Amino acid sequence: MTTLFSPALAARFDKLVTLYPVKRSALVPMLLYAQDEVGCLSDAVIAEVAQRIGISESDVRSVISYYSLLRTHPAGKYNVQVCTNISCMLRGGNEILEHCKKKLGIPNKGVTPDGVFSLEEVECIGACSWAPAAQVNYDFHENLTPDSIDKVLDGYRAKAASGSKK
Amino acid sequence: MATLTTHPDCVPLVSYRFGKGATNIDKYIQLQGYEAARKCLTLGPEAIIAEMKASNLRGRGGAGFPTGLKWSFVPKQSAKPKYVLVNGDESEPATCKDRLIFEHDPHAVIEGTIIAALSVQAKMGFIYLRGEYRYLLQIMEKAVADAYAKGFLGKNIFGSGIDFDVVTQTGAGAYEVGEESALMESLEGKRGIPRIRPPFPAVVGLYGGPTIINNAETIATVPHIFRIGAATYAKLGTERNGGTRLFCLSGHVNRPGVYELPMGYNLKKMIYEVGGGIPSGKKLKAVVPGGSSTPVLTADEIDIGMDFDQVGKAGSMLGSGGVVILDETTCIVEFALRTMKFYRHESCGWCIPCREGTDWLEKSLIRLHAGGAVDKDIDNIRYLAENMLGRTFCPLGDAAAMPTIAFVQKFRREFEDHLNGKGCPYHHAAEPEPALV
Task: Mutation target for B interface from A37, A49, A129, A139: give the one with most B CBs within 10 A.
Answer: A129
- Chain B residues lying within 8 Å of A25, measured CB to CB: 187-189
Residue of B nearest to A21 (CA): B207
What is the rounded CA–CA span in Å between residue B1 and residue A131?
A: 14
Q: What is the mean pLDDT of residues B347-370?
A: 96
> How many domains does the structure of chain A reveal?
2
Q: How confident is the model at residue B64 (pLDDT cuts 50, 70, 90)?
A: very high
Residue A1 lies in a domain: no
Q: What are phi and psi of B374, to 5 degrees?
A: -120, 170
CATH classification (class only), B25-236: alpha beta
| B window 190-249, beta carbon within 8 A of A | 190-192, 207, 248-249
Q: What are phi and psi of A89, to 5 degrees?
A: -55, -45
Which pLDDT does position B201 carry in this prediction?
Answer: 97
Residue A113: count of CB within 10 angstroms of its CB: 8
> Looking at this protein, which amino acid is placed at residue B71?
W
What is the rounded CA–CA span in Å between residue B402 and residue A5?
A: 47
Whichever domain contains A127, its CATH number is 3.40.30.10
Residue of A nearest to B258 (CA): A129
Cβ separation of A129 and B192 shorter than 8 Å?
Answer: no
**pLDDT tens string B117-176:** 999 999 999 999 999 999 999 999 999 999 999 999 999 999 999 999 999 999 999 999
For residues A82 and A145, state if they share a domain.
Answer: yes
Q: What is the mean pLDDT of residues B29-51?
A: 98
Three-state secondary structure call for residue A93: helix
- Residue B13 clears pLDDT 80, i.e. is over it: yes
For residues A130 and A103, state if they share a domain.
Answer: yes
| B window 34-93, beta carbon within 8 A of A | 81, 90-93
- Residue A158 clears pLDDT 60, i.e. is over it: yes
For residues A88 and A153, state if they share a domain.
Answer: yes
Cβ separation of B250 and A129 shorter than 8 Å?
Answer: yes
Contact present, B128 and B170 (Cβ < 8 Å): yes
Contacts of residue A123, Cβ cutoff 8 Å, sequence gap at least 6: A68, A83, A85, B91, B93, B175, B342, B345, B346
For residues A102 and A157, state if they share a domain.
Answer: yes
Chain A positions with Cβ closer than 8 Å to B:
19-22, 24-29, 31-32, 53, 62-63, 66-70, 84-87, 89-91, 123-131, 135, 138-140
Give the strand pairing for B265-266 and B284-288.
unpaired
- Chain B residues lying within 8 Å of A87, measured CB to CB: 93-94, 250-251, 322, 324
- Chain A residues lying within 8 Å of B338, measured CB to CB: 84-86, 89
For residues A85 and A145, state if they share a domain.
Answer: yes
**pLDDT tens string A71-102:** 999 999 999 999 999 999 999 999 999 999 99
C-alpha triplet B265, B266, B272: angle, nearest 5° = 115
Which pLDDT does position B385 carry in this prediction?
Answer: 98
Residue of B nearest to A19 (CA): B167
Has domain B245-327 been given CATH number 3.10.20.600? yes
For residues A60 and A82, state if they share a domain.
Answer: no
- Domain borders along chain B are 25-236, 245-327, 332-416
| B window 310-369, beta carbon within 8 A of A | 322, 324, 326, 330, 335, 338-339, 342, 345-346, 348
For residues A56 and A106, state if they share a domain.
Answer: no
**pLDDT tens string A6-63:** 999 999 999 999 999 999 999 999 999 999 999 999 999 999 999 999 999 999 999 9
For residues A112 and A90, state if they share a domain.
Answer: yes
Which pLDDT does position B301 carry in this prediction?
Answer: 98
For residues A56 and A85, state if they share a domain.
Answer: no
Kindly list the distances between the CA atom of residue B22 and the CA atoms of B34, B102, B109, B128, in Å, as whole numbers in the listed order.
Answer: 12, 11, 12, 20
What is the rounded CA–CA span in Å between residue B194 and residue B181?
A: 5
Q: How confident is the model at residue A2 (pLDDT cuts 50, 70, 90)?
A: confident
Which pLDDT does position B119 carry in this prediction?
Answer: 98
Residue A73 lies in a domain: no
Which pLDDT does position A165 carry in this prediction?
Answer: 53
Residue A70 lies in a domain: no
Which pLDDT does position B428 carry in this prediction?
Answer: 54
On the CB side of A132, how many CA atoms lie within 13 Å of its CA? Answer: 27
Distance, C-alpha B256 to centroid of its chain: 18
Which pLDDT does position B1 carry in this prediction?
Answer: 76
CA distance to partner chain A, nearest, from residue B90 (Å):
7
- Put simply, whether B2 touches A (Cβ < 8 Å) is yes
For residues A99 and A153, state if they share a domain.
Answer: yes
* ipTM of the shown complex: 0.96
What is the rounded CA–CA span in Å between residue A138 and residue A150?
A: 18
> Looking at this protein, which amino acid is placed at residue B104?
H
Q: What is the mean pLDDT of residues A65-70?
A: 97
CA distance to partner chain A, nearest, from residue B168 (Å):
10
- Residue B429 clears pLDDT 80, i.e. is over it: no
- Residue B432 clears pLDDT 70, i.e. is over it: no
On the CB side of A22, how many CA atoms lie within 13 Å of its CA? Answer: 18
Residue of B nearest to A94 (CA): B429
Contact present, B202 and B173 (Cβ < 8 Å): no
Q: How confident is the model at residue B180 (pLDDT cuts 50, 70, 90)?
A: very high
Cβ separation of A89 and B133 shorter than 8 Å?
Answer: no
Residue A23 lies in a domain: yes
Cβ separation of A126 and B132 shorter than 8 Å?
Answer: yes
Task: For CA atoms B368, B369, B375, B376, give the dihedral sign.
Answer: positive
Kindly list the distances between the CA atom of residue B163 and the CA atoms of A74, B118, B153, B180, in Å, as whole numbers in the listed order.
Answer: 43, 10, 7, 25
Share of chain B above pLDDT 90, in %: 96
Contacts of residue A67, Cβ cutoff 8 Å, sequence gap at least 6: A28, A31, B131, B171, B172, B173, B174, B192
What is the rounded CA–CA span in Å between residue B174 and residue B188?
A: 15
Task: For CA atoms B66, B68, B71, B73, give the dihedral sign.
Answer: negative
Query: Could you tell me which residue, B428 or A127, shows the higher pLDDT?
Result: A127
Mean pLDDT, chain B, integer: 96
Which pLDDT does position B62 carry in this prediction?
Answer: 93
Residue of A nearest to B348 (CA): A66
Cβ separation of B172 and A20 shorter than 8 Å?
Answer: no
- In DSSP notation, A14-57 reads HHHHHHSSSGGGGHHHHHHHHHHHHSS--HHHHHHHHHHHTS-H
Task: For CA atoms B313, B315, B317, B322, give the dihedral sign.
Answer: negative
Which pLDDT does position B437 carry in this prediction?
Answer: 46
Contact present, B11 and B262 (Cβ < 8 Å): yes
Query: In terms of Cα–Cα distance, which of B305, B292, B162, B34 is closest to A83?
Result: B292
Cβ separation of A129 and B92 shorter than 8 Å?
Answer: no
Which pLDDT does position B430 carry in this prediction?
Answer: 46
Contact present, B188 and A22 (Cβ < 8 Å): yes
For residues A60 and A86, state if they share a domain.
Answer: no
Kindly list the distances between the CA atom of residue A136 and the CA atoms of A64, A149, A152, B139, B419, in Å, as whole numbers in the listed order.
Answer: 21, 11, 9, 19, 40
CA distance to partner chain A, nearest, from residue B142 (Å):
15
For residues A141 and A84, state if they share a domain.
Answer: yes
CA distance to partner chain B, nearest, from residue A113 (Å):
26
Mean pLDDT, chain A, integer: 96
- Residue B433 clears pLDDT 60, i.e. is over it: no
Q: How confident is the model at residue A164 (pLDDT cuts 50, 70, 90)?
A: low
Which domain covers residue A102, as residue numbers?
Answer: 78-161
Total length of chain B: 437
Residue A130 lies in a domain: yes
- Chain B residues lying within 8 Å of A126, measured CB to CB: 90-91, 95-96, 98-99, 130, 132-133
Which pLDDT does position B378 carry in this prediction?
Answer: 97
Residue A134 is inside which H or E element, if any? strand A134-136
Task: Mutation target for A interface from B169, B184, B185, B327: give the one with most A CBs within 10 A.
Answer: B169
CA distance to partner chain A, nearest, from residue B95 (Å):
6
Cβ separation of A22 and B189 shorter than 8 Å?
Answer: yes
Cβ separation of A68 and B174 shorter than 8 Å?
Answer: yes
Contact present, B211 and B202 (Cβ < 8 Å): yes
Query: In terms of Cα–Cα distance, which of B187, B63, B72 is closest to B124?
Result: B187
What is the rounded CA–CA span in Å between residue A62 and residue B411?
A: 41
Query: In terms of Cα–Cα distance, which of B295, B275, B317 is closest to B60?
Result: B317
Q: How confident is the model at residue B310 (pLDDT cuts 50, 70, 90)?
A: very high
Q: What is the mean pLDDT of residues B247-273?
A: 98
**CATH code, residues B332-416:** 1.20.1440.230
Residue A132 lies in a domain: yes
Cβ separation of B169 and A29 shorter than 8 Å?
Answer: yes
Give the strand pairing for B284-288 and B322-327.
antiparallel
| B window 373-412, beta carbon within 8 A of A | none
What is the rounded CA–CA span in Å between residue B415 and residue B432?
A: 18
Nearest to B171 among A28, A53, A62 (CB): A28
